[in-house]
Amino acid sequence: MMDQAVAAGCTADEAEDRAIEQVRQLGGELLGDWAQEQQSGSLARAREQHPQSIKHIKKK
């Protein structure tokens, strides 16, 4: 990736900035997916433990 950026005319600093941004995006996506799975699991466990509970949904 760095070699491609340098070959495209970027400086080493610009290539590094691009790589850092891509790593940040990947990390954000991974954390978002993880958080969504955790939330789904928590919701399922809560519904199992308290089947009589009422489902609350945010109004738009």
What's the pLDDT at 20? 93
User: Is it the case that residue 7 has pLDDT exceeding 90?
Assistant: no
Q: How far apart are CA 53 and CA 35, in angstroms?
A: 23
What's the pLDDT at 53? 73
Report the range of poorest mean pLDDT among 15-24, 28-37, 48-57: 48-57
Long-range contacts of 2-6 (CB under 8 A, 24+ apart): none
Average of per-residue pLDDT across 5-22: 85
Average of per-residue pLDDT across 20-32: 95
Q: What is the pTM of this model?
A: 0.61
Higher-confidence position of 6 and 38: 38
What kind and span of H or E run contains 16? helix 12-49
Quote the distance between the C-alpha of residue 20 and its chain's center.
Answer: 15
Beta carbons of 6 and 12 less than 8 angstroms apart: yes
Which amino acid is located at 57 in the chain?
Answer: I
